[in-house]
A and B are shown apart, each in its own frame.
Chain A
Amino acid sequence: MDDPVRRMAFSRRALLLGAGMAGTGALLAGRMAWLAVFEGETYQLRAQANRIQDRLIPPRRGWIVDRQGKPIAMNRPDYRLELRPAEVEDVDTTLVAIRAVLDIDLAEDARIRDDVRTQPSFMPVVVRQNLSWREFSACNVRLATLPGVTPVQSFSRFYPEADHFAHLVGYVGAPTPEQYREQKNPLLIYPGFRIGKDGIERFADKQLRGTAGSSRVEMTARGELVRELGTNADTPGDTLRLTIDRDLQDYAARRLGDNSASVIVMDCITGDVLCMVSMPAYDPNIFSRRVPARLWNALQKDDHTPLLNKSAMGLYPPGSTFKMVTTLAALEAGVDPGDTVGCSGAYRLGNNTWHCHARRGHGGVNMHRALPLSCDTYFYVMGRKVGIDAIATMARRLGLGQEYPLPLPGQAKGIVPDKAWKQRRFGKDWREGETLNGAIGQGYIVTNPLQLAVMTARLASGREVMPRLIADGPAPQFPSLGIPDAHLALVRQGMVDVVNAGYGTARAARSPIGDVLFAGKTGTAQVRRISAAERKRGVIRNEALPWKQRDHALFVAFAPADAPRYACSVIIEHGIAGGRYAAPIARDVLSFLFEPQRALAVLPPIEAEAARLRAVRQQNEAAASIASETRQMMPSWLKLDIKPPVFEIADADAPQPPREPE
């Protein structure tokens, strides 16, 4: 019944099939050997990468403290709920789930959706910050398995003195998306992680940041933690000690009232900057969270430039505070201090007339009287005698026209003009009239308040003092300026007389403290071009002009007069007159160093007046709600990028018009 031929044919086909099976078996065995043996290591790594996650432990940011160790920037525990759009499956259902735990009102809801839509998806979005402990624990328990939503316990930066240190210390914020794209450092997108954005926070960011720790954990595919495999603790950032005296800085900021102004106090011996205030300012506590767009706009539009650090970035003509430089240049050129120059109130050069601030003239003025009187004519003569190059050289020796190695972004360098500079800059020859203006600190010359403070410190100590902001070692020793003591003594005496002599321009700055004398120099810097028509009409009282057109008020000072220890510079933008308005501020700030109680006593009326003025200025803004507004926020990585304002300067060789007396 069984056909042997068929049987044979079947056997052949069966063996063929068997060979196919064997071949497949060999292929499978080979493939498996390839995966497990030759590629085994790769896959072992991938299996590890699957199950083991390194979780970052963000470092705590270092504190910033003042010279006595009082905190200027510190950390406060902050519980917050964040979500990462990249990991969230569906924003709507996620928000519904969150709403079961936290109340989210409509505005907040809209803000969260805004952020989710506009930010790169790897950047965390804050759902709510400053959670109470109860809310935080509720989130931890009830939102633990919601993908992309993390309750974060972090530390937020806290600046106890708020705006008084804003420009100096800066603020912190989230890293920019670009920074993360460049560095790919996972710490940068860790929820709640902040980096320095401005001031010292930005400059010393590396030092303050510390090093992140990590913990290795084993995770299931669903993200449940199985066990912790090991921790590597974080290293908190270093504490940074500044040379600043917190109380003095506070005092100076309060004393400035509503002025747009800068005060700097330096130790003339060590160069320690004791106070560097620029007012008005912003509140870095708000900046370190999120800045409401309306507040941001208001700050940007404010003509008192609260976003600008005037102390380091502002540039002003030094005006008469520059006259010490001219004096020293004249002495170095061999001018006899006893030589008298007749001042009639006007000085003729060619067809033009340069005026002195004293309309009827000072009469015979020698070098001893020139500074206290601030006689412009005397300095016109001295300027012509020594030339602009000698003046510029002296100015640079005294620290003008340079940047200091300070942790402050955007320091202005200023201009100390000389003939070579003009040739370089404009390709033109220097003109004699420009020397006249330069000799009294007008024209091309611009300085920033910090430079004026350094200049004063150098005059007072006779040493090449450099400013220092971070107290990271023993006080440095500075070499001598190489200016003869006799010259310096003459200038210092002149500055003592400015304040203390009966004919000085800054009698308002006389020291209220019995045994301590102050010395100083006033300055009033023009900010506008005065037209021929105006000149004919005569002097317009500064008070009658709009704020923007008023002169800047300057004052530089040191104390005590006999053994200089502190140097100070005060600049009030559009402050009208140095003697009347800047000098009293310097007086009070300096007296705070000697008798704080007495100095504090002058504050109440000033602060009341400032509050009134501020209220007037802010009348147009619905001020109360701006800072707490949650809708429409600026991005959390907001960074200041402010250009200093440019004041209109009169032609550098325009003759000095008649002015109000200083």
Chain B
Amino acid sequence: MDLLNGPWRRELARLPWGMVLIICAIAGFGLVVLYSAAGGSLNPWALKQGVRFAILLVGALALALVPPERWLGWAWPIYITLLVALVGVELAGAVRGGSQRWLDIGIMQFQPSEMMKLAIVLVLARYYQYVPKGYESRPDVLIPALALIAMPVGLVMLQPDLGTALSILFGGVVVLFLAGVRLWLFGTAAAAVAAMLPVVWSMMHDYQRKRVLIFLDPESDPRGAGYHITQSKIAIGSGGLSGKGFLNGTQSHLDYLPELHTDFAFATMAEEWGLMGGLFVIILYGLVLAWGIRTAISARSQFQRLLSLGLTATLFFYLAINMMMVMGLAPVVGIPLPLISWGGSAMMTVMILLGVVMGIARANKRGS
């Protein structure tokens, strides 16, 4: 009730409007890219994406008005609900046969794994809020935390959705790191993972193995699965310093670049706008991330700090993996570029994420 009755006009004024502007700039540029990807047309992507962004922006701003401490109370219910939903997806898939990632809940399709990327940060922030200093690395504290991460990661891996699983894992590990778990534990874990790689390899699906192999040597299969990476590199490389010009991309318009409006939207953009366009996007996102870090550092409670920086890191993970993928530095894992790639579900995740972080920024804004 205090949301309606409270001084929301004043709270609205305390929102980080500069950041909203930057987000709008990124999304606006994304619309330009989608317009070009459709061959210079608002349909089928740009217009719909624009409307979607407008709605989600309003939603994000509304979320930003939620006092951060509310999330503390909702953390467990949200996490458990999503975990149950993930099991539900798994069961539904088992019943219908074939893999499934979403639940049909009447009006829309709900993808619990997508939300879990945020929920894992939320629940771990909640968990470590009440862990006293110095107890973070104790096994009786650490093991439940790891279990909180392992359950959703395991369920998502079963779907199988490697990209999302890695994203959830990353979000969880980052919160552990920020909460102060000892560094040598991370080192040991990394070593253990390296040692486990052969085992993981043997458990991977054929298509996943192929992706890794082709990532290591894209030229080995230039017409098949390596085609994506090769064509994406050609698109980015041929853009040069300033690009081929708006609507003049050949790789994208003549269909050499696959997934030009979703996962490879960055390549579509880079072909037409060149290195300049690429740096523009990287710098804008850099500003968003820097703002996220500042918000976290200046937050008033450990929960807020962990939540805001954990979410910021999740956003970073999206960005980094997608860009590395299109530049041929990471395998093709099917992670879209936030705010620019076509797709509602990913955009919703990112806008919720930004809404929560903006809420923390608003709550901690000093003065005025």
Contacts and interface: CB of A to CB of B under 8 A. Distances in A.
Contacts of B254: 50-51, 218-221, 226
Size bracket of the A interface:
35 or more
Interface string B223-261: 000000001011111111100000000110011100000
B205 interface: no
Contact of B237 (A29, A35, A218): A35
Interface string A411-422: 000000000000
Contact of B309 (A14, A218, A222): A14
Given A17-B313, A221-B255, A222-B255, A28 B327 contact: yes
Interface stretch (A41-49, A435-443, A460-468, A501-509): A41-49
B290 interface: yes
Contacts of B9: none
B302 A2 contact: yes
Interface string A187-220: 0000000000000000000000000000000111
Contacts of A36: 236-237, 239-241, 270, 274-275, 278
A17 B293 contact: yes
Nearest to A39: B237
Interface stretch (B40-48, B174-182, B344-352): B174-182
Nearest to A45: B238
A15 B309 CA distance: 11
Contacts, number: 136
B29 to A, nearest CB: 16
A32 interface: yes
Nearest to A1: B301
A31 interface: yes
Contact of B250 (A35, A39, A50): A50
A18 interface: yes
A18 B305 CA distance: 14
B255 A43 contact: no
A9 B237 contact: no
A40 B289 contact: no
A40 B282 contact: no
Contact of B180 (A2, A13, A51): A13
Contacts of A7: 302, 305
Nearest to B327: A31
Interface in A454-505: none
A310 to B, nearest CB: 54
Interface in B276-320: 278-279, 282, 285-286, 289-290, 293, 296-297, 300-302, 305-306, 309, 313, 316, 320
A3 interface: yes
A46 B180 contact: no
Given A17-B293, A46-B238, A50-B251, A10 B327 contact: no
B255 A24 contact: no
Interface in B198-216: none
A373 B221 CA distance: 84
A47 B302 contact: no
Given A17-B177, A42-B237, A51-B256, A29 B250 contact: no
B324 interface: yes
Contacts of A2: 300-302
A9 B180 contact: yes
B329 interface: yes
Nearest to B181: A13
Contacts of B366: none
Contacts of A51: 250-251, 254, 256
A5 B135 CA distance: 13
B26 interface: no
B96 interface: no
Contacts of B256: 47, 50-51, 220-221
B293 A28 contact: no
B234 to A, nearest CB: 5
A55 to B, nearest CB: 16
Contact of A37 (B233, B240, B324): B240
A21 interface: yes
Given A32-B270, A36-B278, A47-B251, A9 B133 contact: yes
A11 interface: yes
A25 interface: yes
Contacts of A3: 133, 302
B66 interface: no
A6 B302 contact: yes
Contacts of A221: 254-256
Contacts of B156: none
A2 B305 CA distance: 11
Most chain B CB neighbours (cut-off 10 Å) among A24, A28, A39: A28
A6 B133 contact: yes
A613 interface: no
Given A50-B254, A221-B255, A222-B255, A13 B237 contact: no
Contacts of B313: 17, 21
B323 interface: yes
A97 interface: no
A10 B282 CA distance: 26
A141 interface: no
Contacts of A220: 254-256
Contacts of A144: none
A86 to B, nearest CB: 12
Nearest to A33: B275
A10 B239 contact: no
Contacts of B279: 29, 32
A220 B258 CA distance: 12
Nearest to B279: A29
B282 A43 contact: no
A146 to B, nearest CB: 18
A10 B305 contact: yes
Contacts of A42: 237
A39 B233 CA distance: 10
A240 B305 CA distance: 90
A51 B241 CA distance: 21
Given A11-B297, A17-B313, A24-B320, A40 B237 contact: yes
B127 to A, nearest CB: 15
B161 to A, nearest CB: 23
Contacts of B320: 21, 24, 28
A32 B278 contact: yes
Contacts of B293: 14-15, 17-18, 21
A28 B178 contact: no
A28 B324 CA distance: 7
B133 A5 contact: yes
A50 B234 contact: yes
B133 A47 contact: no
Given A17-B174, A37-B275, A47 B234 contact: yes
Interface string B126-147: 0000000100000000000000
Contacts of B286: 22, 25
A32 B275 contact: yes
Given A35-B327, A51-B254, A219-B254, A28 B282 contact: yes
Contacts of A27: 329
Given A32-B275, A43-B236, A47-B235, A21 B316 contact: yes
Contacts of B302: 2-3, 6-7, 10
Nearest to B251: A47
Contacts of B233: 35, 43
B186 to A, nearest CB: 11
B5 to A, nearest CB: 26
A222 B297 CA distance: 52
A89 to B, nearest CB: 12
A555 to B, nearest CB: 68
> What are the 6 closest A-B residue pairs judged by CB atoms, nearest first?
A43-B237, A47-B238, A221-B255, A35-B237, A36-B275, A220-B254
Interface of B: 133, 174, 177-180, 231, 233-241, 250-251, 254-256, 270, 274-275, 278-279, 282, 285-286, 289-290, 293, 296-297, 300-302, 305-306, 309, 313, 316, 320, 323-324, 327, 329
7 contacts: A9-B133, A10-B306, A17-B174, A43-B237, A50-B234, A50-B251, A220-B254
